[in-house]
Amino acid sequence: MFRGVITAIITPFSNGRLDAAALRKLVAFQIRNGIYGIVPCGTTGESATLSFEEHEKVIQIVIDAARGKVPVIAGTGSNNTKEAVTLTRYARKSGADAALIITPYYNKPTQKGLIAHYKAIAEEVDIPIILYNVPGRTGVNMTAETVARLAEIKNIVGLKEASGNLTQICEILRSTPEDFSVLSGDDAMYFPMLALGAKGVISVTSNVAPREMVDLYEAYVAEDMDLARELHFRLWPLMQTLFIETNPIPVKTAAAMMGMIKEELRMPLCEMSEANRKTLAKVLAGLKIV
């Protein structure tokens, strides 16, 4: 079972190229701060702009840097089923512990098409698979009924749920097995989803505040609801501000302010507006992150 705080790690660049040294340092920072797992090549990792070679290299670097200390869940999704199979095979061959596979984007498959897509990947590659539903990014929503049907497939073991729809989230938690790992895909929904029975979060915020996000989870598990709630509201301004512009623009800007990476995004993403940058700096200073 995958649980706790799992970081959807950013991909650092330097002069247009992957910054492997910085990526290794980011992984070490995460592990040092008690994180429960790492996702390379997710949306936050700018997977849409990585070449196949870069995609594979990022996965391999993170696996090597993690050294088995935490699970590595490789992002291997695509709107092309054959391409998703190829990426997932590479993740398995490289030693990833699981694959995070986003719903196909742009081509907007039906629920029948989503089931066929995931079933094909699960049958082709013997690796634990975590579904990823983020309709705001992909243009398609995976329903609770579809998730429940896919959860019957042996190596489909969890879901990163980022619909923001509490009714749907309740239906998913009600209709999937206890050992199926439902994880929040939205930091703002992290604490509420824990209360409903989710197992944790795949997080953007933990790129810059891993210890604080872990503290919230561990307070919840220890049944210290007052502390968990306090930490939720302490982190709330950061959770909101990290989405003041398109993810991962704010979180990469924050990581650069912390001196962890160069402030470099890959087009068509661009640098933050000056007004939003000031807001972000103020929130980070308020949490004593910078």
Catalytic residue, candidates 132, 190, 217, 220: 132
The residues, any chain, with a CB within 8 Å of residue 169's CB and separated by 6 or more, are 161, 163, 182, 189, 193, 196, 198
Catalytic residue, candidates 160, 190, 217, 252: 160
Q: Are 35 and 210 in contact (CB under 8 A)?
A: yes
- Specify whether 112 is catalytic: no
> Across 186-278, where does the E strand assignment appear?
200-203
Q: DSSP string of the chain? A: ---EEEEE----EETTEE-HHHHHHHHHHHHHTT-SEEE-SSTTTTGGG--HHHHHHHHHHHHHHHTTSS-BEEE---SSHHHHHHHHHHHHHHT-SEEEEEPP-SS---HHHHHHHHHHHHHH--S-EEEEE-HHHHS----HHHHHHHTTSTTEEEEEE----HHHHHHHHHHS-TTSEEEESSGGGHHHHHHHT--EEEESGGGT-HHHHHHHHHHHHTT-HHHHHHHHHHHHHHHHHTTSSSTTHHHHHHHHHTTSS-----TT--PPPHHHHHHHHHHHHHTT--
- Specify whether 288 is catalytic: no
Q: Are 174 and 145 in contact (CB under 8 A)?
A: no
DSSP conformation class of 68: T
Cα R_g (the chain), whole angstroms = 18
The catalytic residues are 132, 160
